[in-house]
Amino acid sequence: MQLIGADWTSAPSRRRPIWIARGERRGARLTVISFTPAHGWDQVQSGLAGEWLGGFDFPFALPAEVPFDAFGFPTRAEFRSAVKAWIAARPPGSPRYLRRRIDNLSAGQSPLNVVRPPVGLMYYEGVRRFEEWGIRRWPMQDPGRRTAIETYPKLVAQRIASGYKRSDSAALRQRILDGLVEGRLEPIYGVRLCVPNRVSALAVEDPSGDPLDSLLSLVQTAWTVSAPGWGVPEGIDRREGWIVDPGNLAA
């Protein structure tokens, strides 16, 4: 099965594309076979053709307490307004941005944040397009020809270095990539990365960190292949989804 790792945005453009890394795992060797930017939704859709298991860096669900989801709103503006109204109506003293159990466990952003970073809009655009394109979301849906899992690249990166998403952090991005290639995380994720020079250069030089994030998502996806329950522990609330990572497996 071919593997995919993708960093996500709510509005792919030439300035801020969605990077899609494809790879193949043979034993402990994870080889990147293609690495492409998608500058619009049509390119994202064509870049996700074929049969695969893919890791995507955006929330697949809202917290279970939220009484609506992305599919009840034809436009993102309506969804954004509904989120803001629900937050405003919460009792005094309640958390402004409610998080899922897995967000708390992973120190991730709330899917209700529709401003900075607009994680909620990534959710809105992602789940609606996956439904339209016939992509299954694990674990809330059974696997299919194309199955998506939720990843969080920061969980991989922080095992080597933090603060890599700055213009002056090329050395940190290089350290993270070198660690993956040299197998520093092989005891944890079961793989070491094999990356063409062109891909290495893009991952290190881009100050956004997005190309590197797609490779980190690919690593989490490769780990999932051999993980129990595809990285999802028993007894969770599957309506909320789950971020796959070895550190979250025993939750």
* Tally of domains within the chain: 1
Q: pLDDT at position 171, please?
A: 94
Residue 9 in domain: yes
Residue 219 in domain: yes
Residue 86 in domain: no
Note every long-range contact of 9-16, with CB atoms under 8 Å and residues 24 or more positions apart, other chains counting.
9/122, 9/210, 10/76, 10/118, 10/121, 10/122, 10/124, 10/125, 11/121, 11/125, 12/38, 12/39, 12/40, 12/41, 12/43, 12/44, 13/39, 13/40, 14/39, 16/208, 16/210
Is residue 121 scored above 90 in pLDDT?
yes
Residue 45 in domain: yes
Residue numbers of the domain that contains 136: 2-59+130-248
Is residue 167 scored above 80 in pLDDT?
no
| Sign for the pseudo-dihedral over CA of 134, 137, 139, 143 | positive
Residue 98 in domain: no
Residue 72 in domain: no
> What length is written for the chain?
251
Residue 65 in domain: no
Q: pLDDT at position 174, please?
A: 96
Residue 153 in domain: yes
pTM for the complete prediction?
0.96
